[in-house]
């Protein structure tokens, strides 16, 4: 609770620099993982705008697709996709830490939980892709 | 048992993290890259309109969009607290993050309902 | 073989009114020495004023944790040989107030430890029962968390604790889990109260360094994430089924 006292009443505490996370690679990776949330939000909004365009009629649908071809949005798509993939990978890799599944006495190994996450990712991607395109 | 609202936001963060990790990359590849770059033909308007016609599909889409936004709100809130040491503004940051998520979710519900 | 290595040791002596500084010591390089041996050599042969904590020399007392080249380690388990050619920088554990040289003030940790009641709590104690039995599977549920030696390396590795000293921190939450998951214990909801406010587990953003530096493989990061899942489930249960009681 207290930072002070001791016989002489003094102690020394180092301050953390504002950008503390730039000093270690693992912390830079951590901040990158946290910033993937921006890609998630960005793409959620793109989805919402797409639905809005579709519901407004044929013309605005094709206009939206034309908009998606503009260089700025292409770059945003690429950056946000990299973020989304990094989010998926880190999320699935860390999932076994939070998810502990037990069958009676038997605890399912973390690697199985992780791999089933990846399997679910592949299955859902195929289903969504087929659903959207065919 | 004391009551706190943090577990509620964390649940939305967790659900949103899972649902966005599973659904968004494929949607982003199709909508953000494959169609704009012409790797695949642009789906016809009739086809794409029909896909979102059933209410059930729109509800799934609403779940994906809103949970993703709450995922962002929670995670970004802590990114600001920690990454930029803005903990002293924690209430303002929380209101801005969750508030904007709630606003967009309300807008999403409205536009998906009036599809 | 280079037979000497330089140690840059953090010095802070509040009685001299001096600012913290680094002092260089050149010591003989013995291949079988750990950092703690090197510090003992300095204390015995070069500079008796150097202060640091240590006790068992075998990785179980948890008192010789320090920052070695900016990483929190038990100095009794960090071999000099792996740090050749040096210089080796030795600092007190990060995120704690420094009392003198390499000695930190650990009262904050002890205060927090007390808050989660790290002992078995029973609703009713029946003196007629002499022992409460536990199967190996039940032991396996929490054994990992019981390995914690309170060395506080995880607190030094945790940026959240550095930024928010109110944060309960890794080891204490893992130790709360050690008792929560013990089938003989009934203290879950009391500990949940202590850990579900702003200073508790919800502060953790799963950076994960606590688990990397843990010398006993306790995996506090995993313990905290599991506790969050449990806390969230309890919250929804209390909301939707307020009449149901939890353990």
Is residue C163 in some structural domain? Answer: yes
Please enumerate in sequence order all residues whose Cβ is within 8 A of that of A104, keeping only pairs 6 or more positions apart, or say none: none
Helix, coil or strand: residue C130: coil
- pLDDT per position as a tens digit, C162-209: 999 999 999 999 999 999 999 999 999 899 988 988 889 999 999 999
From C104, C121, C145, the end of a domain falls on C104
Are residues C21 and C98 both part of a single domain?
Answer: yes
pLDDT surpassing 70 at residue A9: no
**Cα–Cα–Cα angle for B91, B24, A123, rounded to 5 degrees:** 135
- pLDDT per position as a tens digit, A36-76: 999 999 999 999 999 999 999 999 999 999 999 999 999 99
Please state, in angstroms and rounded to a whole number, the distance separating the CA atoms of residues C100 and B67: 50
Is residue B97 in some structural domain? Answer: yes
Both structure tokens of A91? 């999320």
Mutate to test the interface with B, among C228, C238, C243 (most CBs of B within 10 A): C228
Are residues C34 and C47 both part of a single domain?
Answer: yes
Nearest CA in chain C to B10: C232
Q: Out of C97, C159, C225, name the one closest to residue A13 (CB).
A: C97
Name the domain count of chain C.
2
What's the mean pLDDT in B59-84? 97
Nearest CA in chain C to A2: C108
Mutate to test the interface with A, among B22, B39, B54 (most CBs of A within 10 A): B22
Please state, in angstroms and rounded to a whole number, the distance separating the CA atoms of residues A44 and B65: 5
What's the mean pLDDT in C148-174? 96
Are residues C147 and C39 both part of a single domain?
Answer: no
Are residues C74 and C146 both part of a single domain?
Answer: no
Are residues C192 and C86 both part of a single domain?
Answer: no
- pLDDT per position as a tens digit, A109-126: 999 999 999 999 999 999
Mutate to test the interface with A, among B12, B19, B26, B99 (most CBs of A within 10 A): B26
Is residue C92 in some structural domain? Answer: yes
What's the mean pLDDT in C70-92? 95
- pLDDT per position as a tens digit, A10-44: 889 988 999 999 999 999 999 999 999 999 999 99
- What CATH number has the domain bearing residue B26? 1.20.1300.10
Of A95, A35, C236, C201, the closest CA to residue B14 belongs to: A95
* Torsion, Cα of C203, A99, A119, B61 (10° steps): -50
Please state, in angstroms and rounded to a whole number, the distance separating the CA atoms of residues B25 and B21: 7
Helix, coil or strand: residue C91: strand
Is residue B63 in some structural domain? Answer: yes
Please state, in angstroms and rounded to a whole number, the distance separating the CA atoms of residues C38 and C9: 11
Chain A residues touching residue B37 (CB < 8 angstroms) = 74
Residues in C 146-175 with any Cβ partner in B closer than 8 A: 159-160, 163-164
Are residues C119 and C228 both part of a single domain?
Answer: yes
Its domain, for residue C153, covers 107-240
pLDDT at A2: 45
All domains of chain A in start order, with CATH: 20-87 (1.20.1300.10), 99-134 (no CATH)
Are residues C116 and C233 both part of a single domain?
Answer: yes
Chain C residues touching residue A4 (CB < 8 angstroms) = 97
Q: Assign residue C95 a region (left: φ > 0; alpha: ψ between -120 and 50; beta: otherwise).
A: left
> What residues of chain B have any CB closer than 8 angstroms to a CB in chain C?
1-4, 6-8, 10-11, 14, 78, 81-82, 85, 87
Q: How far is A98 from chain C (nearest CA, A)?
A: 5
Q: How far is B56 from chain C (nearest CA, A)?
A: 25
Chain A residues touching residue C98 (CB < 8 angstroms) = 11-14
pLDDT at A5: 42
User: For residue C201, with 0-12 CB atoms within 10 Å meaning exposed, 13-18 middle and 19 or more buried, which class applies?
Assistant: buried
- Is A34 within 8 Å of B83 when comparing Cβ atoms? yes
ipTM of the complex: 0.94
Its domain, for residue B36, covers 10-113
Name the domain count of chain B.
1
Please enumerate in sequence order all residues whose Cβ is within 8 A of that of B70, keeping only pairs 6 or more positions apart, or say none: B9, B12, B13, B15, B16, B98, B101, B105
Contact C144, C219 (CB under 8 A): yes
- Of the pLDDT bands very low, low, confident and very high (cuts 50, 70, 90), residue C41 is very high
Is residue B77 in some structural domain? Answer: yes
Are residues C91 and C176 both part of a single domain?
Answer: no
Q: How far is A128 from chain C (nearest CA, A)?
A: 28
pLDDT surpassing 80 at residue B47: yes
């Amino acid at each position: 609770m207290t930072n002070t006292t001791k016989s002489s009443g003094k102690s020394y505490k180092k301050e953390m620099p504002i950008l503390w996370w730039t000093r270690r690679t693992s912390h830079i990776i951590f901040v990158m993982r946290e910033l993937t949330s921006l890609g998630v939000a960005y793409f959620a909004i793109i989805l919402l705008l797409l639905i809005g365009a579709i519901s407004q009629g044929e013309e605005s649908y094709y206009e939206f697709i034309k908009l998606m071809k503009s260089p700025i949005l292409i770059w945003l798509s690429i950056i946000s996709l990299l973020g989304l993939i990094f989010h998926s990978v880190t999320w699935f890799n860390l999932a076994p830490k939070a998810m502990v599944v037990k069958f009676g006495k038997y605890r399912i190994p973390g690697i199985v939980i992780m791999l089933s996450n990846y399997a679910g990712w592949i299955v859902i991607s195929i289903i969504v892709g087929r659903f959207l395109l065919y | 048992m004391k009551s706190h609202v943090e577990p509620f936001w964390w649940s939305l963060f967790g659900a949103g993290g899972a649902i966005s990790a599973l659904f968004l990359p494929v949607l982003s590849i199709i909508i953000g890259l494959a169609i704009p770059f012409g790797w695949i033909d642009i789906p016809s308007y009739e086809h794409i309109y029909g896909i979102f016609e059933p209410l059930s599909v729109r509800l799934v889409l609403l779940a994906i969009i809103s949970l993703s936004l709450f995922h962002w709100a929670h995670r970004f809130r802590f990114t600001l607290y920690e990454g930029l040491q803005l903990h002293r503004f924690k209430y303002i940051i929380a209101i801005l993050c969750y508030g904007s998520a709630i606003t967009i979710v309300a807008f999403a519900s409205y536009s998906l309902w009036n599809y | 073989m280079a037979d000497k290595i330089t140690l840059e040791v953090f010095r802070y002596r509040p009685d001299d009114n001096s600012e913290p500084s680094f002092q260089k010591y050149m010591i003989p390089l013995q291949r079988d020495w750990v950092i703690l041996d090197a510090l003992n050599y300095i204390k015995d042969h070069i500079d008796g004023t150097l202060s640091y904590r240590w006790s068992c020399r075998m990785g179980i007392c948890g008192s010789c944790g320090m920052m070695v080249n900016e990483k929190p380690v038990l100095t009794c388990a960090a071999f000099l040989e792996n740090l050749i050619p040096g210089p080796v920088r030795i600092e007190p554990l990060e995120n704690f107030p420094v009392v003198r040289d390499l000695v930190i003030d650990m009262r904050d940790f002890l205060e927090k430890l007390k808050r989660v009641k790290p002992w078995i709590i029973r609703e009713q104690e029946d003196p007629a029962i002499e022992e409460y039995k536990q199967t190996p599977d039940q032991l396996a549920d929490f054994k990992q968390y019981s390995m914690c030696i309170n060395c506080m390396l995880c607190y030094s590795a945790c940026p959240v604790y550095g930024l928010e000293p109110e944060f309960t921190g890794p080891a204490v939450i893992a130790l709360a889990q050690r008792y929560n998951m013990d089938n003989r214990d009934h203290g879950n909801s009391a500990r949940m109260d202590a850990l579900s406010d702003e200073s508790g587990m919800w502060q953790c953003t799963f950076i994960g360094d606590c688990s990397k530096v843990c010398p006993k493989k306790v995996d506090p990061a995993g313990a905290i994430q599991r506790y969050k899942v449990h806390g969230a489930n309890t919250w929804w249960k209390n909301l939707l089924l307020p009449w149901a009681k939890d353990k």
